Amino acid sequence: MSLDAFLALLVYALVTSITPGPNNFMLLASGVNFGIVRTVPHMLGISIGFLVLLVAVGLGLGAVLTAFPILHTALKIAGGAYLLYLAWKIAMSRSLAGKGEAEGQPMRFIDAAAFQWVNPKAWVMAITAMAVYTNPEHPFLSVVLISVAFTVVNLPSVSVWAGFGTALRGFLSDPVRLKWFNIAMGVLLAATLWPMLR
């Protein structure tokens, strides 16, 4: 891969990682409701889970889904249902969790990592990256370079959303504001399904 192609890949990784989507809306809500420290496992789960998905797609999983459309459809249905469940949970959250409080729990590392496998935006990002930036003459090296690019860019990008949510905690300590913020985040998260339904 040429330096120009790798730089273009880094830009693609940055734009797709930092723009709104299911992960980033959930991190914003988690930052507000639980703070940055309790959201770290969620952030790490997204980054590691997406890395594993990316490598799997690069090693041929994307071709399997293309060959068996029923698997792709089942994945979309499962992902959509789980995303709506998460949107409902966020929309119904009504209190900020302080340090050591058990009320409400942020998404765990394993849950965030597993969510990447049913996240429509993650699949689009992974398949597009592998389709556009893979060099057929060096497929394994291409998968490694694409994975490195996303690893370098993804965690800082998702951290911005969790950090922004944490910065809003003071403003949203008012129960009415928090209620409407969480409802808005739930609606926005559910709306991320729209491209998948078209």
Contact status, residue 182 vs residue 92, Cβ threshold 8 Å: yes
Q: Name which of 196, 163, 169, 195 is nearest 182 in CA terms.
A: 169
* Tokens encoding 6: 């790798």
Q: Which residue has the higher pLDDT, 93 or 160?
A: 160
Look at residue 100 and tell me if it is in a domain.
no
Confidence at residue 67, expressed as pLDDT on a 0 to 100 scale: 80
Q: Name which of 187, 169, 133 is nearest 20 in CA terms.
A: 187
- Give me the domain span that covers residue 184: 3-94+106-196
Look at residue 191 and tell me if it is in a domain.
yes
CA dihedral 15, 44, 143, 119 (to 10 degrees): -70
Q: What value does the mean pLDDT of the chain take?
A: 85
Tally of domains within the chain: 1
Look at residue 66 and tell me if it is in a domain.
yes
Residue spans of alpha helices (H) in 57-193: 62-67, 69-92, 109-115, 120-133, 139-167, 175-191
* Residue 134 in this model has a pLDDT that exceeds 70: yes
Look at residue 28 and tell me if it is in a domain.
yes
* Residue 93 in this model has a pLDDT that exceeds 90: no
Please tell me the distance from the alpha carbon of residue 29 to that of residue 36, in angstroms, as a whole number.
11
Look at residue 116 and tell me if it is in a domain.
yes
Contact status, residue 113 vs residue 46, Cβ threshold 8 Å: yes
Please tell me the distance from the alpha carbon of residue 191 to that of residue 63, in angstroms, as a whole number.
28
Confidence at residue 195, expressed as pLDDT on a 0 to 100 scale: 64
Contact status, residue 12 vs residue 116, Cβ threshold 8 Å: no
Residues 84-95 have a mean pLDDT of: 79
Contact status, residue 146 vs residue 138, Cβ threshold 8 Å: no
Look at residue 101 and tell me if it is in a domain.
no
pTM for the complete prediction? 0.80
Look at residue 129 and tell me if it is in a domain.
yes
Look at residue 159 and tell me if it is in a domain.
yes
* Residue 41 in this model has a pLDDT that exceeds 80: yes
Contact status, residue 42 vs residue 158, Cβ threshold 8 Å: no
Contact status, residue 2 vs residue 138, Cβ threshold 8 Å: no
- In this prediction, residue 189 has a pLDDT band, given cuts at 50, 70 and 90, of confident
- In this prediction, residue 102 has a pLDDT band, given cuts at 50, 70 and 90, of very low
- In this prediction, residue 156 has a pLDDT band, given cuts at 50, 70 and 90, of very high
